[in-house]
Amino acid sequence: MTDIAALTEAARTAAGATAAADDATRASWLRAIADDLDGAVDELVELAMAETALPDARLRGEVARTTGQLRLFADVLLEGSYLEAVLDSADPAATPPRPDLRRMLRPIGPVAVFAASNFPFAFSVAGGDTASALAVGCPVIVKAHPGHPLTSRRTAELVVAALDRLGAPGGTFALVEGFDEGLALVDSPAIQAVAFTGSLRAGRALLERCVARERPIPFYGELGSLNPVVVTPAADAARGATLAEGLAGSFQLGHGQFCTKPGLVFVPADSTLEDALPDFVGADVPKLLTEAITEGFAAGRSRAVAVPGVEVLAGDRDTATPLVLAADASTLLEHEDVLLEEVFGPATVLVRYRDPAELRTALDHLEGSLTMTLHAEPEDDVDDLVDRMTERAGRVLFSGWPTGVAVGWAQQHGGPWPATTTQFTSVGATAVRRFQRPVVYQDAPEHLLPPALRDGNPLGIPRRVDGRLALPSADGRA
């Protein structure tokens, strides 16, 4: 068994130095990792293809997404607003009198990252969790997913080599494997947060373990999502067959093993989409990523097709073919314990609604999701639908499909429980916020303040000064 105590102690020792490293230095670490991964893309893709059965083009795109994330977080560091620097001048006339107060975000310390099964690069060893934690100065220990061990080990070797070459402290990054090793990571007093992408069952168990520690720590989990889609009668009449083709492509993409797969689609009764959809559904038996996913898909499929009132529109109820089910909204509400459970794999459920009131009632029974999608026409009155979607999803899409999560400053990848456990997620610039905590310096001598809070803005970063946003001028002052 890996010596978890030694690894976590090394991470604890490194944390002071990684936190003290300036933004340009940490940005150079991220860019070096990205460059080395890009340079090894052929080797990495070959390993991942052998372990996951994912195709070459998909994996090359995922490596590019991974290195793009690393470079994005380097840009986030150099821009500077991630520190949330706020300065309030002393005001003895205030009630109560206000001292000089200066606040910023600081790294929390070593982080444990649990890699995902369905993205061997972008949500794995060097994925968004690792990149965002390293960016703000938190050492990272990754627990590899057993579905792609060789890919994980080689990726970790490249990360370590890049960090060593640039002089990062020993203990800044490490990889562990094994179920017991993962639990030992969560239990280690040195670990200050856990990030996880995986099933609701496993995520809840880790969440409870984080909370049960003598000193509880945050758990940042992405756990499950149905990603409901609503098609209005006008949209179905205008482009039902086109929508069917788009839905088929989305729910079968990656054999339905995307966390943003549309698993629940509300369509008007007697819809064109429902009639057209079977023509776009494949008949192959896909190889899923792991035995556990294969077994879970079979079990979920069996539970769903056994529900009275559920029809099989496409696929085989007894094999792992892509599957389309259909049911009336009343059936969904009567059997929501089964039909509102995520089935991870190539399956989706069409829910027929008769009128807007029935649709609204069904939507009110949904839990949180990463996404919700609306297909409507300009003449549709959909304000109420958009409000309901905003309450239940972290990303609301219009006339598109949820599979595919762009990486950028405005993006995030969360939603109300059980989609994620907090408002900050592994995608987008705000991912770094999970691994920072606010510290206020009161009446601190100038020379003891972090550079981000000193007079004259020596770092040239955006700051809020006496309640007003102060952007750096051409000379870097604010």
* 61 membership: H or E segment, kind and range: helix 56-79
Tell me the C-alpha to C-alpha distance, in Å, between residue 234 and each of 3, 286, 371: 61, 35, 22
- Are 135 and 244 found together in one domain? no
Two structure tokens written together for 236? 């179905």
CA 67, CA 282: separation in Å to the nearest integer? 32
Query: Could you tell me where the beta strands, DSSP code E, fall in 33-172?
Result: 86-88, 101-107, 111-114, 140-143
**Residue in the structure block whose two tokens are 């099964």:** 117
- Are 295 and 205 found together in one domain? no
- Are 163 and 294 found together in one domain? no
Options 138, 259, 274, 342, the catalytic residue: 259
CA 273, CA 449: separation in Å to the nearest integer? 62
CA 172, CA 208: separation in Å to the nearest integer? 27
Two structure tokens written together for 412? 């995030």
Omega before residue 418 within 30° of 0, cis: yes
- Are 149 and 16 found together in one domain? yes
Q: What is the pLDDT of residue 319?
A: 77
- Are 111 and 184 found together in one domain? yes
**259 noted as active-site residue:** yes
The range of the structural domain enclosing residue 69 comes to 4-223+420-436
Q: What is the pLDDT of residue 474?
A: 58
* Max Cα distance, the chain (Å): 76
Q: What is the pLDDT of residue 452?
A: 97
Rg of the chain on CA atoms, in Å: 24
Two structure tokens written together for 390? 């905003």
CA 135, CA 30: separation in Å to the nearest integer? 7
**CATH number of the domain that residue 60 is part of:** 3.40.605.10
- Are 207 and 272 found together in one domain? no
- pTM, entire model: 0.92
At 454, the amino acid letter reads R
User: 120 in a domain, yes or no?
Assistant: yes
CA 182, CA 141: separation in Å to the nearest integer? 10
For the CA atoms of 45, 50, 52, 54, what is the dihedral angle to 10 degrees? 60
User: 410 in a domain, yes or no?
Assistant: no
- Are 279 and 169 found together in one domain? no
- Are 177 and 157 found together in one domain? yes
Residue pair 191/8 in contact (Cβ under 8 Å)? The answer is yes
User: 407 in a domain, yes or no?
Assistant: no
Q: What is the pLDDT of residue 206?
A: 96
The count of residues in the chain is 478
258 DSSP 8-state letter = S
Q: What is the DSSP string of 213-229?
A: SSS---EEEE------E
Q: What is the pLDDT of residue 285?
A: 76
User: 331 in a domain, yes or no?
Assistant: yes
CA 47, CA 45: separation in Å to the nearest integer? 5
In sequence order, what are the residues at sequence separation of 6 or more whose Cβ sits closer than 8 angstroms to the Cβ of residue 142? 112, 113, 114, 115, 124, 125, 130, 152, 156, 173, 174, 175, 176
What is the edge-to-edge ordering of all strands in the sheet holding 193-197? 173-176, 140-143, 111-114, 193-197, 219-222
Q: What is the pLDDT of residue 283?
A: 83
What is the edge-to-edge ordering of all strands in the sheet holding 463-465? 436-442, 101-107, 86-88, 463-465, 468-470
Options 62, 222, 342, 358, the catalytic residue: 222
User: 31 in a domain, yes or no?
Assistant: yes
- Are 277 and 176 found together in one domain? no
Q: What is the pLDDT of residue 320?
A: 78
Mean pLDDT by 10 residues, the chain (478 residues): 91 97 98 98 97 94 96 97 97 94 98 94 95 98 96 98 97 96 96 94 95 96 94 98 97 90 96 97 85 90 94 86 95 95 93 96 95 97 96 95 90 91 90 97 97 96 96 64
Q: What is the pLDDT of residue 1?
A: 64
Residue pair 260/371 in contact (Cβ under 8 Å)? The answer is yes
Q: What is the pLDDT of residue 478?
A: 53
Q: What is the DSSP string of 69-102?
A: HHHHHHHHHHH-GGG--EEE--BTTSSS-B--EE
At 406, the amino acid letter reads A
User: 195 in a domain, yes or no?
Assistant: yes
**CATH number of the domain that residue 274 is part of:** 3.40.309.10
Q: What is the pLDDT of residue 316?
A: 82
- Are 156 and 207 found together in one domain? yes
- Are 132 and 256 found together in one domain? no
Please name which of 444, 408, 409 lies closest in space to residue 104, comparing C-alpha atoms: 444
CA 15, CA 174: separation in Å to the nearest integer? 13
Tell me the C-alpha to C-alpha distance, in Å, between residue 179 and each of 143, 184, 294, 386: 9, 9, 20, 42
Q: What is the DSSP string of 377-426?
A: -TT---HHHHHHHHHHEEEEEESS-S-----SSS-----TTTTBSSS--S
User: 96 in a domain, yes or no?
Assistant: yes
Residue pair 460/478 in contact (Cβ under 8 Å)? The answer is yes
Q: What is the pLDDT of residue 351?
A: 98
Q: What is the pLDDT of residue 317?
A: 76
Tell me the C-alpha to C-alpha distance, in Å, between residue 215 and each of 112, 129, 138, 218, 222: 15, 22, 18, 10, 22
CB atoms within 10 A of CB 53: 12
**222 noted as active-site residue:** yes
User: 415 in a domain, yes or no?
Assistant: no
Instruction: Report the domain count for the chain.
Output: 2
Two structure tokens written together for 137? 């100065």
- Are 199 and 249 found together in one domain? no
